[in-house]
């Protein structure tokens, strides 16, 4: 075991390693280029009996691990949704690691609970959350959404499913669009709703849910004896960042008394910008909302921000107080009762560091810069030939396709575009991923990594034009 | 936003802060002594518009946060279950924070996935997991147990609940003892089983499940048309570290074809010691197993180690592959399909650093030291008058009570012992918590913090004798 002074020495070395790594990150291929099994092959089959020297362990880390890393903090990371950190949030994570606390209840570190309460107020004030809503930090949007599904289920059943199981509630139905994230289906399965009871509402030409189709489906289901209980609206779908019409959906949920959960996992960060807040019209009548600070808000994974209108209902859904956790002070917040896990990391510190060092103005500046870069990218790309935009351009997400006029066969087009992604990823300079829209394979480009600059997007355009020349 | 060189400077400062903090941790009161609301009152009601200087933010951190911290790494932390870190695992968490990756699937950082596979093999080899079982790291035992409950449900229903909802499965029943952790009830609620269908089996005089009572209950329930599907056995209960008779329970589960999940959240670390491995007799016929490296295994929270006999069944329960996550290489492990969240932290690195620096022998040495200290504590304590042991002494967990011969009233005894905890906690030197066993309030003392020494346990005995003199 390391002594304190050995730790100090190694930790200084680690800081320099991290700073050097981030300073030189563009020298790495964004997407790891290794073959399956090649990392594992370098690791012995069993743990050592005798302790090893930390110098050797550190050297092994530095030689074995980086080639197997896909560098999410590389400015050329434009696949999936980028998961940004910032120097500020890395600093905070270091301190959190050193403190080594568990924020399960107030008493096990009041500062962690109270800072989390305050940070969720700061976020609420600035990112369009209605006054009076309360927030809690979960690990991922998958978990936040599962939490929402269970809460909605319990509100509908008046806590009878928690107590007795499903019994008379086997016809619960949940609505979302065909474009919403797979975590809604996954959550519905976990909660016992069943995949058959997740009803996918058709989307319009912009991949947004058709509110009229939603209402019609609810009416049909009610007439058929089903038990509609919940709608999940996406503000920014995963494939193309489509925005479901929240205002219309919200009115329908109010009319039929359904729980409305809003999944703004990626785009929620941009609701700090006045020009996008109109997408939130209708949230006042919703019940729960999630967006991830660990995506486009410069805060290390994991940091999923979950807000609810009725915190007491959340607590009633998830709380219980066994003898070994009995508290004397019931007036405090015990976040273990706001979700599934008992143990909780101290995640608020990284939000505090980031929000204060950036300032709200600094955050706006960075987001607007990314959005401007995405506009620039699109203009440059379309100045070449045979490129088309496959979904409305939203914020900083682009769904594009190379489509030479002489090729009409869809399979051939799909193959060409899959190959383009592979060619770009093989350069090591960018990491792109794809998706399917209406059966067409499209290339997704997300211009949102913390350190992305004009030179990066111009280089990507150049490469895209080159590989299709 | 900080520049790279500003980060480097601040991060070196943070390292010295962490090393100083851990070197001087005994100067802090173990349990935070602040009043509710006093941290929050020091934080402005809104985020700043303009970015602030990191020097000021760091100063605020250093002055506002520590008084609100309950110091889990203080050797006097003997409440709940300690959640140990080690210098090694702090180092690894720093590097992980710097890398800032998301280990959702193999391709998003092969090294994270392959190191996790290998580390779970190392753990499996040395901590009594049957050959051929596969492991994955979750955040908490609550999550691991929920994962087990859903898997068991799906195995029983042949994936029909995932697909159709409960329908014909409204009589599913799950068995555990009255002493098992509340996360089993919480998980059963979340999964839709219902609290009524969690059947608490009576425990014996040692607070361990009565296997005969379990079998009788299963027979009765089957006769009544119920659908027994799962048993959760605790190896080390939360209140008194009681060990359910795994071998007998396992035979019953085999006979009635029930899923057997083993919750060894705390005690699992000690199964590296030959003298305790007999508790695992019967695991070969179990289906899933969890213990937490972030409790007694010197690894930062969060790091819950979940093992299953049939990994394909786990994957079939939780996997799905939307268009935006389609992979070309299906031969690799994608851990997103091994549990609920999509996003995953890179948790294997801290296990690697700890296991290599300690070595298996070093881990054994530390655990045996803690157990010897607990024995020493008990002998010293009982050398005073009027102290009694309220449950069998297991490993390093002691359930004790002060019981002057002239007091027979249980309420009075409970009050006296609650007051003893408050007196000890108010010294700031130790943090103890209590529980109830058979209606009696007892003081729990867990001698397991990484840096606990003989002088600490002797001082605690002295204080306990003093406050009861």
Question: What's the CATH number where A115 sits?
Answer: 3.40.640.10
Which whole number is the average pLDDT over A285-301? 98
Give CA separation, B455 vs A281, A456, B78, B194, B296, in Å: 62, 60, 14, 48, 20
Give me the residue from B23, B183, B325 closest to A342, CB to CB.
B183
Per-residue pLDDT of A359-408, as tens digits, reads 999 999 999 999 999 999 999 999 988 999 999 999 999 999 999 999 99
Provide the CATH number for the domain around residue B384: 3.90.1150.170
* End-of-domain residue from the set B317, B345, B373: B345
Residue B449 — φ and ψ, nearest 5°? -70, 145
Per-residue pLDDT of B208-262, as tens digits, reads 999 999 999 999 999 999 999 999 999 999 999 999 999 999 999 999 999 999 9
Which whole number is the average pLDDT over B145-164? 98
Return the pLDDT at A257. Answer: 98
Quick one: B222 and B134 in the same domain? yes
Counting residues of chain B whose pLDDT is more than 90, the rounded percentage is 97
Q: Which residues of A touch B112 (CB under 8 A)?
A: 68-69
Q: Which residues of B touch A112 (CB under 8 A)?
A: 68-69
Quick one: B172 and B267 in the same domain? yes
User: Please, which pLDDT band fits residue A90 given cuts at 50, 70 and 90?
Assistant: very high
* Overall size of chain A counted in residues: 469
Give how many domains chain A has, as a whole number.
Answer: 1
CA–CA distance, B359 with A427 (Å, rounded to integer):
40
Residue A330: pLDDT over 80: no
Residue A323: pLDDT over 80: no
Give me the residue from B32, B94, B170 closest to A97, CB to CB.
B94
Return the pLDDT at A320. Answer: 83
| B230 inside domain | yes
Which letter does DSSP use for residue B76 in this model?
Answer: T
Of A122, A128, A96, nearest in space to A109 by CA: A96
CA–CA distance, A334 with A112 (Å, rounded to integer):
11
Of A460, A459, A458, A455, nearest in space to A445 by CA: A460
Contact A109 B52 (CB under 8 A): no
Of A377, A367, A343, nearest in space to A272 by CA: A367
In this structure, the strands spanning A134-138 and B172-177 are unpaired
Q: Which residues of B touch A431 (CB under 8 A)?
A: none
What strand order describes the sheet that includes A433-437? A387-389, A397-402, A440-446, A433-437
Quick one: B198 and B318 in the same domain? yes
Residue A118: pLDDT over 90: yes
Quick one: B175 and B312 in the same domain? yes
CB pairs under 8 A between A and B: 505
CA dihedral sign, ordered A121, A124, A127, A131: negative
Per-residue pLDDT of B303-343, as tens digits, reads 999 999 999 999 999 998 777 776 555 689 999 999 999 99
Give CA separation, B439 vs A120, B165, B413, B435, B442, in Å: 39, 39, 11, 9, 9
Quick one: B3 and B81 in the same domain? yes
Return the pLDDT at B132. Answer: 96
Q: What is the 3-state secondary structure (H, E, C) of A227-249?
A: EEEEEEEEECCCCCCCECCHHHH
CA dihedral sign, ordered B58, B60, B65, B67: positive
| B298 inside domain | yes
| B55 inside domain | no
Residues 226-285 of A with CB under 8 A from B: 238-239
Q: Nearest chain B residue to A292 by CA: give it.
A: B343
Q: Which residues of A touch B98 (CB under 8 A)?
A: 14, 17-18, 21-22, 90
Per-residue pLDDT of A58-86, as tens digits, reads 999 999 999 999 999 999 999 999 999 99
Range of the domain at B182: 101-345
CA–CA distance, A426 with A433 (Å, rounded to integer):
12
Quick one: B40 and B150 in the same domain? no
Contact B324 A19 (CB under 8 A): no
Return the pLDDT at B328. Answer: 53
Whole-number CA gyration radius for chain A: 24
Hey, which residues does B398 pair with through a beta bridge?
B445
The answer, for B370 touching chain A at a CB cutoff of 8 Å, is: no
Quick one: B281 and B328 in the same domain? yes
Contact A340 B143 (CB under 8 A): yes
3-state class of A339 per DSSP?
Answer: coil
Which whole number is the average pLDDT over B13-32? 98
| Farthest CA pair distance, chain B | 75
Return the pLDDT at B331. Answer: 81
Quick one: B465 and B376 in the same domain? yes
Per-residue pLDDT of A210-254, as tens digits, reads 999 999 999 999 999 999 999 999 999 999 999 999 999 999 999
Q: Quick check: A263 and A180 in contact, CB under 8 A?
A: yes
User: Please, which pLDDT band fits residue A414 given cuts at 50, 70 and 90?
Assistant: very high
Q: Which residues of B touch A180 (CB under 8 A)?
A: none
CA–CA distance, B235 with B263 (Å, rounded to integer):
6
User: Please, which pLDDT band fits residue B459 given cuts at 50, 70 and 90?
Assistant: very high
Quick one: B311 and B407 in the same domain? no
The answer, for B155 touching chain A at a CB cutoff of 8 Å, is: no
Contact B342 A140 (CB under 8 A): yes
CA–CA distance, B112 with B99 (Å, rounded to integer):
11
Peptide bond into B461 cis (omega under 30): no
Residue B53: pLDDT over 70: yes
Q: Nearest chain A residue to B237 by CA: give it.
A: A324
Return the pLDDT at B327. Answer: 58
Contact B51 A117 (CB under 8 A): no
Q: Nearest chain A residue to B432 by CA: give it.
A: A324
| B92 inside domain | no
Return the pLDDT at B321. Answer: 77
Residue A343: pLDDT over 60: yes
| B169 inside domain | yes
| B56 inside domain | no
The answer, for A330 touching chain B at a CB cutoff of 8 Å, is: no
Q: Quick check: B149 and B204 in contact, CB under 8 A?
A: no
CA–CA distance, B1 with A152 (Å, rounded to integer):
39
Give me the residue from B165, B329, B356 closest to A192, CB to CB.
B165
| Farthest CA pair distance, chain A | 75
Return the pLDDT at B173. Answer: 98
CA dihedral sign, ordered B142, B144, B147, B153: negative
Counting residues of chain A whose pLDDT is more than 70, the rounded percentage is 99
Residues 17-36 of A with CB under 8 A from B: 17-19, 21-23, 31-32, 34, 36
What strand order describes the sheet that includes B198-201? B134-138, B304-308, B288-292, B259-263, B227-234, B172-177, B198-201
Whole-number average pLDDT of chain B: 96
Of A266, A164, A149, nearest in space to B194 by CA: A164
Q: Which residues of B touch A70 (CB under 8 A)?
A: 101, 107-110
CA–CA distance, A466 with A460 (Å, rounded to integer):
10
Residues 62-101 of B with CB under 8 A from A: 64-73, 80, 83-91, 93-95, 97-101
| B350 inside domain | no
Return the pLDDT at A386. Answer: 95
Q: Which residues of B touch A101 (CB under 8 A)?
A: 69-72, 83
Q: Quick check: A170 and B371 in contact, CB under 8 A?
A: no
Return the pLDDT at A327. Answer: 58
Quick one: B173 and B200 in the same domain? yes
DSSP letters of A319-333? ----GGG--S-TTS-
Region of residue B310 (left: phi > 0; alpha: psi -120 to 50; beta: else): beta
Which whole number is the average pLDDT over A195-224? 98
The answer, for B392 touching chain A at a CB cutoff of 8 Å, is: no
Return the pLDDT at A329. Answer: 56
| A401 inside domain | no
Of B14, B68, B4, B11, nearest in space to B36 by CA: B68
Give CA separation, B259 vs A82, B170, B265, B308, B340, in Å: 39, 17, 18, 11, 19
Quick one: B121 and B229 in the same domain? yes
The answer, for A312 touching chain B at a CB cutoff of 8 Å, is: no
Which whole number is the average pLDDT over B297-301? 97
User: Please, which pLDDT band fits residue A322 given cuts at 50, 70 and 90?
Assistant: confident
Hey, which residues does A47 pair with through a beta bridge?
none
Per-residue pLDDT of A160-183, as tens digits, reads 999 999 999 999 999 999 999 999
Contact A94 B97 (CB under 8 A): yes
* End-of-domain residue from the set B345, B368, B389: B345
Burial B192-213 (b: 16+ CB within 10 A, else e): bbbbebbbebebeeebbbbbee
Cα A374 to chain centroid distance, Å, stands at 20
* Most A-contacting residue of B32, B41, B94, B294 (CB-CB within 10 A), to test interface: B94
Give the pair of three-digit tokens for residue A112.
């962690």
Q: Quick check: A261 and A231 in contact, CB under 8 A?
A: yes
Chain B: give the shortest CA distance to residue A259, in Å. Answer: 17
Of A104, A195, A188, A200, nearest in space to A150 by CA: A188
User: Please, which pLDDT band fits residue B384 given cuts at 50, 70 and 90?
Assistant: confident
- Burial (CB count <10 Å: 0-12, 13-18, 19+), residue B223: exposed
Quick one: B336 and B226 in the same domain? yes
Residue B279: pLDDT over 60: yes
């Amino acid at each position: 075991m390391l002594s304190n002074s050995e730790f100090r020495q190694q930790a200084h070395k680690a800081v320099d390693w991290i700073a050097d790594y981030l300073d030189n990150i563009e020298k790495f291929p964004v997407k790891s280029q290794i073959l399956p099994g090649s990392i594992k092959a370098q690791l012995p089959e069993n743990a050592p009996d005798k302790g090893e020297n930390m110098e050797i362990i550190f050297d092994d880390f530095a030689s074995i691990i980086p080639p197997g890393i896909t560098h999410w903090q590389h400015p050329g990371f434009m696949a999936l949704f980028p998961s940004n950190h910032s120097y500020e949030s890395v600093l905070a994570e270091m301190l959190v690691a050193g403190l080594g606390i568990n924020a399960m209840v107030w008493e096990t570190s009041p500062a962690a609970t109270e800072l989390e309460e305050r940070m969720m107020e700061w976020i609420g004030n600035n990112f369009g959350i209605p006054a009076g809503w309360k927030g809690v930090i979960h690990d991922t949007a998958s978990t936040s959404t599962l939490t929402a599904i269970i809460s909605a289920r319990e509100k509908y059943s008046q806590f009878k499913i928690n107590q007795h199981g499903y019994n008379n509630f086997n016809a619960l139905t949940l609505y979302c669009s065909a474009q919403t994230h797979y975590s809604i289906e996954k959550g519905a399965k976990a909660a016992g709703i069943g995949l058959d009871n997740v009803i996918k509402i058709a989307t319009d030409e912009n991949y947004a849910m058709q509110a009229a189709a939603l209402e019609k489906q609810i009416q049909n289901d009610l007439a058929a004896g089903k038990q509609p209980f919940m709608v999940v609206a996406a503000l920014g779908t995963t494939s193309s960042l489509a925005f479901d019409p929240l205002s219309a959906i919200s009115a329908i949920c109010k009319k039929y008394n359904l729980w409305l959960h809003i999944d703004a996992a990626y785009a929620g960060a941009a609701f700090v910008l006045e020009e996008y807040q109109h997408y939130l019209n209708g949230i006042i009548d919703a019940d729960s909302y999630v967006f991830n600070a660990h995506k486009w808000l410069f805060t290390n994974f994991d940091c999923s921000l979950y807000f609810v209108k009725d915190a007491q209902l959340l607590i009633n859904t998830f709380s219980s107080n066994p003898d070994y956790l009995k508290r004397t002070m019931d007036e405090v917040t015990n976040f273990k009762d706001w979700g599934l896990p008992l143990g909780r990391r101290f995640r608020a510190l990284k939000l505090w560091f980031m929000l204060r060092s950036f300032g709200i103005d600094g955050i706006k500046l960075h987001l607007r810069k990314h959005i401007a870069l995405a506009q620039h990218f699109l203009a440059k790309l379309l100045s070449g030939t045979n490129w088309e935009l496959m979904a409305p351009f939203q914020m900083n997400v682009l769904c594009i396709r190379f489509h030479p006029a002489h090729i009409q066969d869809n399979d051939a087009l799909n193959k060409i575009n899959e190959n383009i992604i592979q060619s770009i990823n093989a350069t090591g300079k960018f990491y792109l991923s794809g998706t399917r829209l209406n059966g067409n394979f499209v290339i997704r480009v997300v211009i949102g990594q913390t350190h992305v600059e004009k030179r990066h997007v111009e280089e990507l355009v150049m490469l895209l034009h080159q590989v299709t020349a």
